[in-house]
Amino acid sequence: MTFDKKTIWITGASSGIGKSLAIALSNYDCKLIISSRRTEALEQVKQLCRNPESVYVLALDLADTESLPQLTEKAISAFGTIDILVNNGGISQRSPILETSIEVDRKLMEVDYLGTVALSKALLPHFVSRQSGHYVVVSSLMGKFSSHYRSAYCGAKHALHGFFDALRLEHEKDQIKVTMICPGFVNTNVARNALIGDGSKQGYQDVMTENGLDVDVFVQKMIKAIRKEKFEAYIGKFEKFGVYVKRLSPRLIHKLVMRSKVR
């Protein structure tokens, strides 16, 4: 597939992967809708894009699912259609299960899972009516296997795979594509912004994230996977091989993750 003449909607576009993706895609002959909660930061991203006049800023909060149908209509009206929705918005978590309040679990599910599902369902009739559409979902390798101190995050990401695998099955007849992007460690602020057990932010970078893929390198690999319309893409350094190890032996991946330094 090509991005030329397409309209692409990116959530979580004010920083990290979403910001880098928006800037990279602005080099194509396409139109962009960029969303997050922070309008001012989105406006700054817009000005970094190659053709700011082809970028539409639309603030939204994935936790406010009731607002998403109306905002979806606003997004469609911006350029008349949407061809690709990149579900990138979300938050992470870093805390032991025993120290994690149920409110944190609920928050992760509300934002990372239910918010993404609600937005995708709001856009689905548009895709069906056009008999065309592509969902790109930024999951995680933690959506394929788990690790310490990320129980709520792993739960939400695993759930995304279940939902979007079903959506792909139900709507293949409507020419709707689904690509699950599964990052490993990427050097963004995801760890700094991750919630700890009481719901506050961790506030510091961890070693594995800091040593992860450069975000711009990651985005180029992500773009390649989207263009190829892959079902799933595992993007990272050595950690991406955990997906294949788990297929061979769940016990072995358990032992390998136990040995890893994840904090």
pTM over 0.75: yes
- 153 carries an active-site annotation: yes
What residues contact residue 44 under an 8 Å CB cut-off, 6+ apart? none
pLDDT of residue 34: 98
Does residue 2 belong to any structural domain of this protein? no
Q: Each residue's pLDDT tens digit in the chain (263 positions)?
A: 899 999 999 999 999 999 999 999 999 999 999 999 999 999 999 999 999 999 999 999 999 999 999 999 999 999 999 999 999 999 999 999 999 999 999 999 999 999 999 999 999 999 999 999 999 999 999 999 999 999 999 999 999 999 999 999 999 999 999 999 999 999 999 999 999 999 999 999 989 899 999 999 999 999 999 999 999 999 999 999 999 999 999 999 999 999 986 65
pLDDT of residue 260: 83
Encoded amino acid at 232, one letter = E
Does residue 85 belong to any structural domain of this protein? yes
Is the separation of the CB atoms in 32 and 8 below 8 Å?
Answer: yes
Quote the domain boundaries for residue 25: 7-259
Rounded Cα–Cα distance for residues 217 and 236 (Å) = 10
Using left for φ > 0, alpha for ψ between -120 and 50, and beta otherwise, residue 186 falls in beta
pLDDT of residue 52: 98
Encoded amino acid at 211, one letter = N
CA neighbor of 123 nearest in space, from 172, 179, 167, 159: 167
Is the separation of the CB atoms in 94 and 149 below 8 Å?
Answer: yes
What residues contact residue 130 under an 8 Å CB cut-off, 6+ apart? 81
Does residue 214 belong to any structural domain of this protein? yes
Does residue 77 belong to any structural domain of this protein? yes
The enclosing domain of 93 has a CATH number of 3.40.50.720
247: its two tokens:
């297929």
From 135, 149, 153, 234, active-site residue: 153
231: its two tokens:
């079902």
Does residue 1 belong to any structural domain of this protein? no
Does residue 35 belong to any structural domain of this protein? yes
Three-class SS state of 234: strand
Number of domains comprising the chain: 1
